[in-house]
């Protein structure tokens, strides 16, 4: 492919961060709307039970094949890849049948007043997941060929349409909020699917018309290797294929990812599974924990997740799986090493900033978001403060693990799957024990232990890969001493402000925090001038292009 992979990965991360901010803002507004109109119990049913069902279906049926198909896309036989990605549709149907049965017949039921709506909600979630899988071929192509803006625009349309439909339905039928949620899920999935295929129908038509005329055009000039000549070729069996129906190498890789995804899903949604399977918390308590958890995960959702997704794609294109570093293109290896070093430096710095300022401003954030409902009880503040500590571990684990997953060969992935099984079983056991002893805080503590174990494993793998080279990508995990020193000072100042000023004037307390934050950023930028200059250059290039 002639596209710049690093540039597209950075652009994808930037746009994804913007989208995540928009998505979280909409979600927070919706949560506040739901609490005020239909109550905490309904919020718990939708945000914990039903969305956990959706997450589980999609993770088991989509993630393994999608990750396998994203590997080394420039070498794909796209006819085989299209056939492979459409396997997710019947697979989703089978997984949905099994999980919906569990959700409706095995797990504890809801209050009788919500039971019928809850059952309908489970079936609607399954249907929306199947529709979503029918879109994955177009999603895979857009990501492989760096349609970054398309992803952001269509994701925004999807989230916005779902939110508008839900709000309108609830305002008209407040007693049927779960039905409104279900209807919004299916309708927005249909919109998401149609918009993808309509775009590619238009794009392929224009590409075919202008392939010879517009070789220098901004949209088409670098896309002459685009393999699809008709939107029908996005369907299985329509594209000419001289080889086997499926790519056996990708099938084996997908099986490895499938084993891994089962475990990773438990690790990602472990606390929700514990809440769902065992009566540790009521639906009302689950909704409050979910709100605090979302607030505590702002940095992870806004910044770390988009960086991880783009970094995974970048590393899969730059480093070949299973081939020793010494035998690979050293220019690519050097660039990947530098990128990993800088990524570690950035996310670690963000994690420390979240810890320091989170201890002094958790109560303030909760008060501004939910008022006295969230601050009369000290538990939400304690939960959020512990979340801030977990953010640092999430940041480090996300970047190091994305490199590990992007470069492991099939055998290494299979071995790591067994390690992940141990991690997942230990995590669930620790979650249950610590939650019984510490309450909801136990979920966060268990996550911290789990993240720390995974970080140690990833660091060991990366060190082993680079042990015979002069590259030091993990050096970015060690913060600058000046940065740590100023963080300690700013932490002391903001803590003093919390105890002596916040109860008198929240605005003054926030103003002091703003000054301290700007001071911290100035020191960080001075100590990381290479990254600062790179960011400024990228910004200037973007402005010139616009």
Percentage of residues of the chain with pLDDT beyond 90: 18
Lowest mean pLDDT among 16-25, 134-143, 213-222, 534-543: 213-222
Q: How far is CA 145 from CA 176, 179, 193, 348, 371, in A?
A: 42, 38, 18, 30, 46
Q: How far apart are CA 221 and CA 224, in angstroms?
A: 7
pLDDT tens digits for 394-448?
A: 889 888 888 888 888 778 877 887 887 788 788 888 888 887 787 778 888 888 9
Average pLDDT of the segment spanning 176-200: 93
pLDDT of residue 119: 92
Give the integer Cα–Cα distance in Å for 402 and 411.
17
For residue 1, name the pLDDT band (cuts at 50, 70, 90): very low
Q: Which residues contact 259 (CB under 8 A, 6 or more apart)?
A: 413, 414, 417
Best CA proximity match to 490, nearest among 467, 516, 510: 516
Longest distance between any two alpha carbons in the chain, whole Å:
75
Residue 98: count other Cβ atoms within 10 Å of its Cβ. 11
Tell me if 432 sits within 8 A of 266, measured CB to CB. Answer: no
Q: Which residues contact 58 (CB under 8 A, 6 or more apart)?
A: 92, 129, 132, 133
Of residues 206 and 256, the one with the higher pLDDT is 206
The residue count for the chain: 546
Neighbour tally for 217: CB within 10 Å: 12
**Confidence (pLDDT) at 517:** 93
Round to whole Å and give the CA distance between 424 and 269.
11
Under DSSP, is residue 243 helix (H, G, I), strand (E, B) or coil? coil
**Is residue 334 within 8 Å of residue 317, measured between CB atoms?**
no
Would you state the pLDDT for residue 5?
A: 56
């Amino acid at each position: 492919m002639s596209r710049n992979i690093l540039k597209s990965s950075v652009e994808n991360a930037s746009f994804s961060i913007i989208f995540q901010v928009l998505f979280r803002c909409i979600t927070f507004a919706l949560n506040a709307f739901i609490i005020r109109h239909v109550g905490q119990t309904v919020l718990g049913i939708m945000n914990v039970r039903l969305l956990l069902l959706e997450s589980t279906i999609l993770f088991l049926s989509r993630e393994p094949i999608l990750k396998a198909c994203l590997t080394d896309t420039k070498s794909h036989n796209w006819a085989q890849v299209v056939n492979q990605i459409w396997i997710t549709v019947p697979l989703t149907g089978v997984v949905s049948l099994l999980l919906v049965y569990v959700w409706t017949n095995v797990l504890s039921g809801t209050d009788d007043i919500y039971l019928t709506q809850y059952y309908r909600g489970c079936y609607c979630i399954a249907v929306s997941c199947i529709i979503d899988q029918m879109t994955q071929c177009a999603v895979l192509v857009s990501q492989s060929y760096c349609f970054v803006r398309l992803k952001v625009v269509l994701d925004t349309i999807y989230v916005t349409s779902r939110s508008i439909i839900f709000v309108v339905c609830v305002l008209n039928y407040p007693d049927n909020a779960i039905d409104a949620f279900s209807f919004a899920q299916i309708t927005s999935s249909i919109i998401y699917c149609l918009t993808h295929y309509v775009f590619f129908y238009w794009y392929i038509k224009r590409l075919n018309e202008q392939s010879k005329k517009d070789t220098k055009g901004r949209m088409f000039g670098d896309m002459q290797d685009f393999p699809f000549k008709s939107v029908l070729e996005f369907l299985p069996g329509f594209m000419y294929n001289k080889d086997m129906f499926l790519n056996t190498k990708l099938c084996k890789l997908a099986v490895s990812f499938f084993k891994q995804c089962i475990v990773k899903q438990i690790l990602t949604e472990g606390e929700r599974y514990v809440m769902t399977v065992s009566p540790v918390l009521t639906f009302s308590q689950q909704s409050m924990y979910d709100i605090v958890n979302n607030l505590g995960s702002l940095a992870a959702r806004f910044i770390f997740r988009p960086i991880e997704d783009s970094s995974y794609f970048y590393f899969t294109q730059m480093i070949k799986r299973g081939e020793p570093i010494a035998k690979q293109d050293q220019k690519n290896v050097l660039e990947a090493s530098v990128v990993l070093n800088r990524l570690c430096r950035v996310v670690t710095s963000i994690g420390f900033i979240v810890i320091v300022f989170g201890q002094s401003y958790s109560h303030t954030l909760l008060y501004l978001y939910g008022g006295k409902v969230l601050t009369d009880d000290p538990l939400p503040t304690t939960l959020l403060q512990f979340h801030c500590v977990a953010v640092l571990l999430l940041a480090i684990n996300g970047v190091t693990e994305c490199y590990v997953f992007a470069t492991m060969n099939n055998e290494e992935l299979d071995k790591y799957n067994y390690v992940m099984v141990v991690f997942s079983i230990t995590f669930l056991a620790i979650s249950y024990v610590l939650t019984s002893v510490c309450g909801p805080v136990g979920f966060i503590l268990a996550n911290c232990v789990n993240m720390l174990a995974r970080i140690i494993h990833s660091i060991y793998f990366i060190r082993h890969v680079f042990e015979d080279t002069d590259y030091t990508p993990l050096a970015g995990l060690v913060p600058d001493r000046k940065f740590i020193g100023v963080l300690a000072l700013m932490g002391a100042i903001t803590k003093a402000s919390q105890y002596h000023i916040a109860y008198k004037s929240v605005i003054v307390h926030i103003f002091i925090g703003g000054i301290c934050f700007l001071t911290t950023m100035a020191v960080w930028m001075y100590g990381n001038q290479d990254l600062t200059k790179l960011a400024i250059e990228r910004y200037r290039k973007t402005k010139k292009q616009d």
